[in-house]
Structure 1
Amino acid sequence: MDPKLVEVTQLFERFKAAFVRNDFGACTDLLSHLKVLLTKFPSLPPSYEETPNAVQELTIARDIYEHAVVLSVKTEDQDAFERDFFQLKPFYTDTCGIIPPSPQEYPILGLNLLRLLVQNRIAEFHTELELLPQSALENPCIKHAVELEQSFMEGAYNRVLSARQTVPHDTYVYFLDLLAKTVRDEIAGCSEKAYDYLSINNAKKILMFSTDQELSEYITEEHPEWEIKNGCVFFQKAKESQPCKEIPALQLINQTLSYARELERIV
C-alpha cells in the first residue's frame, strides 16, 4: 500500500478513537493534519486523476470529511460545518460510479438543509433541494428537513418545536434546538405585544414548555423584564421599557410636499 495512504489511514484511526472519547480538541488537531495529508492525493477533487489507489483515496477522504462535518456539529461551529460540507459535497456529486455511495450521504445532506433553514437562508435551501434527485425526497432525513421548512413557512410553530422528538439522526438535535429557540423568541415577541399578561398555563402552552420550571428558566435567561406573579406572566413591564416614538407628522408632510414640487419642476 502507498505509504501516504498508510499514514492517512493510521492518523484517521487515531481521529476516530478520539472522536469516540469525545476528545474534540484532539480531533480538531488531527483533522487539520489529515486535511494537509489529503492534499497529496492526486485522485481527489478537483483533479480526479486515475491512480492505482484512487478508490481507496477517495473513500477515506470522503469518510474524513464526513467525520469533519459531524465534528463541527459536536463543537457547535457553524462556520466549520459550512467549510467541511463544501469540501465533502464533490464526493457526493462527482464520484458516482467510482466509489460506492456513502450511508452518511443523506443524513449529512439533510443536516445541511436544516442548517440553511436555521440560518434563514431559504433561497439556498431550495437551491440545494433542487439539486437532489426526486428519489432523495423520500429519504427520511431529507423529508424531515422539507417538512420542517414547510411548517416554518406556514407559521405552524408547534410542529417546528415538536420536530425535535422525531429527529431522523442524532446530529440534527443541535440545529433543531437553535431553530426552536428562534421560534420561541418570535412567539415571545408577539405575545408581549399582543397581551398585557398571560396565565402561566397559557404561557407554557404558547411557548411549548411542559413544566413551570422550564418556563421560569426561559424567562430568567431570555426575558428578565417579564414578571411572574399571582400565577401569571406580566409583559407590561417590558412594554413600559419601550417608550413609543413620536412621529414627526408635520416634518413628513413638508418633505412630501417638497418632493411633489420638485417632481413638478422635473416634468
Structure 2
Amino acid sequence: MAAHLKEAHAELLRTFQSNSSDTTSVRSQLTKLKIALTEAGLLVPSFSVTTSAGGTSDGASRAQLPADVESLVMARDVLEVGALFSIRVKDINSFDRYMNLLKAFYNDFSSQLPPSTNHEPLLGLSLLRLLSSNAIASFHTALEALPSDLVQKSPYLQHPVNLERWLMEGSYSKVWRAQKEAPREEYKFFVDSLMGTIRHEIASCEEKAYDSLPLRDAAMLLFFDNAQDVMNFANERGWIINPTTQTVHFPNAAPDYSKTEIPKKSIIALNLQFAKELESIV
C-alpha cells in the first residue's frame, strides 16, 4: 500500500469521527481518496484468475485477491465513510452509489476480509432507504437475501424489520417512537422521511373525513410536537387555519353531484338501441 494512501485514509477517519467534523473537509478528502483508489484499482476490485503451468495437462485455475488485504480493508473503510457521510449531508443518491460500490467488498470478499463494524449498520440503512421510498417489494427481496440468524440477532437490522411490520399494522405511533430508539444517529434521517410519508397519508384521510379540526387534534393525529409544525404542514397541503378559533379547515375537494347534468336523451337512445339488438338476437 502506498504511504500517501495510508496517510490520507487515516486522516479521513480522524476528520469523520471528530465531533466537530467539517463537511467540506470530509467531502474533499473523500474525492481525493476515490481518485487515488481508482488509480490503484481498488475502487471496483475483482478477483484475478491465474492458471498453473504444471501439474495437469490443462493447468489448474485459481482466484487471487486483486490486492493485499490491508489495501482492500482501507478501500472498504473509505467507501463506508462515504456512505455514512452521505446520510449526514442528506444526499440519498450519493448513498446509493457508495452502497453499490460496497457490494463487491461485502459479497465477493467477505470471506477474505476481516469483519467491518459498519457492515450491519449500513445494511440496516439500505433497508431503511428502501422502506422510506415505499419500495416494499425490493425491501423484502433484500431482506430475504440476508442470513436469517444475522437478521434475528442484529439490532441494526431488527430496526427496519420492526418498522415495516408496524407500517403494515398501521401502528404509526410505534414508528414515531422509533425515532428516539434508532440504533445510530444516521437512522433518524430515514425515519424522519418515513414519518413524512405517513403524515401525508393521514392528512389525505383527514381531508376526506372532516371539514375542520381543532389545531391541537390535528397536531396529535399528525404526530407534531408544536403548533408551528402543523401550520407549516397546513400551508404545504393548502389548508386554512383560523388563528382566532385555533381550527384547521380542509378544502372540500369532493365533487358536487347535485349540480352534475345527466345526459338523459343520449342514455335513452343507447338503451333503445341495445333493446333492438337484443330483440334481433332472440
TM-score, normalisation: structure 2: 0.78
Residue 105 of structure 2 is aligned to residue 91 of structure 1: yes
Q: Is the 8 A contact 2:38 2:44 kept in 1?
A: no
Instruction: Label 1:248 to 1:110 Cα distance change in 2 as closer, same or farther (>3 A).
Output: farther
Instruction: Give 1 or 2: higher helix fraction.
Output: 1
2:148 aligns with 134
Deviation at 1:31, TM superposition (A): 1.4
Deviation at 1:96, TM superposition (A): 2.4
Deviation at 1:58, TM superposition (A): 1.1
Aligned ranges for residues 174-193 of structure 1 at < 5 Å? 174-193=189-208
Query: 1: distance between equivalents of 2:101 and 2:68?
Result: 17
Aligned ranges for residues 163-182 of structure 1 at < 5 Å? 163-182=178-197
Aligned ranges for residues 101-120 of structure 1 at < 5 Å? 101-120=115-134
Q: Per-residue displacement from partner, 1:156-215 (whole Å, max 9, x unpaired)?
A: 222222210110111101111111111111111211221011123321221112333443
Greater shift after overlay, 197-206 or 133-142? 197-206
Query: 1: distance between equivalents of 2:66 and 2:86?
Result: 32
**Letter aligned with residue 7 of structure 2:** Q
Q: Per-residue displacement from partner, 1:14-36 (whole Å, max 9, x unpaired)?
A: 33344334322232222122112
Query: 2: distance between equivalents of 1:56 and 1:245?
Result: 71
**Letter aligned with residue 180 of structure 1:** M
- How many residues are treated as equivalent by the alignment? 250
Instruction: Label 1:214 to 1:44 Cα distance change in 2 as closer, same or farther (>3 A).
Output: closer
Q: Is the 8 A contact 1:187 1:207 kept in 2?
A: yes
Provide the secondary structure at the position in 2 that maps to 1:198. strand
Q: Is the 8 A contact 1:18 1:24 kept in 2?
A: no
Q: Is the 8 A contact 2:34 2:43 kept in 1?
A: no
Q: Is the 8 A contact 2:124 2:156 kept in 1?
A: yes
**Letter aligned with residue 244 of structure 1:** P
Provide the secondary structure at the position in 1 that maps to 2:113. coil
1:28 aligns with 27
Gaps of 5+ in 1: 261-267
Query: 1: distance between equivalents of 2:262 and 2:136?
Result: 37
Aligned ranges for residues 222-241 of structure 1 at < 5 Å? 222-228=236-242, 229-235=244-250, 238-239=251-252
Query: 1: distance between equivalents of 2:77 and 2:212?
Result: 53
Greater shift after overlay, 84-93 or 44-53? 44-53
Instruction: Label 1:141 to 1:115 Cα distance change in 2 as closer, same or farther (>3 A).
Output: same
2:8 aligns with 11
**Letter aligned with residue 25 of structure 1:** T
Query: 2: distance between equivalents of 1:30 and 1:186?
Result: 41
Aligned ranges for residues 134-153 of structure 1 at < 5 Å? 134-138=148-152, 139-153=154-168
Q: Is the 8 A contact 1:44 1:57 kept in 2?
A: no
Q: Cα RMSD between the aligned structures?
A: 2.9
Query: 1: distance between equivalents of 2:98 and 2:42?
Result: 18
Gaps of 5+ in 2: 49-63, 275-282
Q: Is the 8 A contact 2:43 2:101 kept in 1?
A: no
**Identity, % of aligned positions:** 34
Deviation at 1:248, TM superposition (A): 8.5
Query: 2: distance between equivalents of 1:160 and 1:104?
Result: 24
Instruction: Label 1:227 to 1:10 Cα distance change in 2 as closer, same or farther (>3 A).
Output: same
TM-score, normalisation: structure 1: 0.82
